[in-house]
Amino acid sequence: MVERKQDIKYLDNGNQVFYRSNKTWTFDQQRSCPTCFCSDKMYSPNLIYIVRVSIRLKTRSLRNSRKSVESTVQFQVKPICGSWDSMW
């Protein structure tokens, strides 16, 4: 993994630092599992959506929201190899 700090801002006479973290992972077939390939797909949950659903469940009754939540769980499907932003 390679991490780069972007949009670096110094505040309070340089006593505070704020930045956006950009992380890059590189697939290496030699160091990976025998059945892992670059053409495999990776499924990752849409965390922003999950937080929104959680807030919704707290503000509405579970009985009314449960059915719609179960039918709309979202996942991002991305190739293991290639370029994509880690911050959806």
Q: What digits encode the pLDDT tens for the residues 28-86?
A: 888 888 898 888 887 777 778 888 888 877 766 555 555 554 455 566 666 667 655 55
pLDDT for 12 equals 92
How many C-beta atoms surround the C-beta of residue 79 within 10 A? 13
The 10s digit of each residue's pLDDT in 7-20 is 999 999 989 999 99
Q: What is the pLDDT of residue 76?
A: 63
How far is the CA of 24 from the CAs of 78, 82, 86, in angstroms?
A: 14, 11, 8
Q: What is the pLDDT of residue 87?
A: 45
DSSP H or E stretch at residue 70: helix 62-71
Confidence of residue 27 (pLDDT cuts 50, 70, 90): confident
Distance (Å) of CA 9 to CA 18, 20, 30, 85:
5, 10, 39, 21
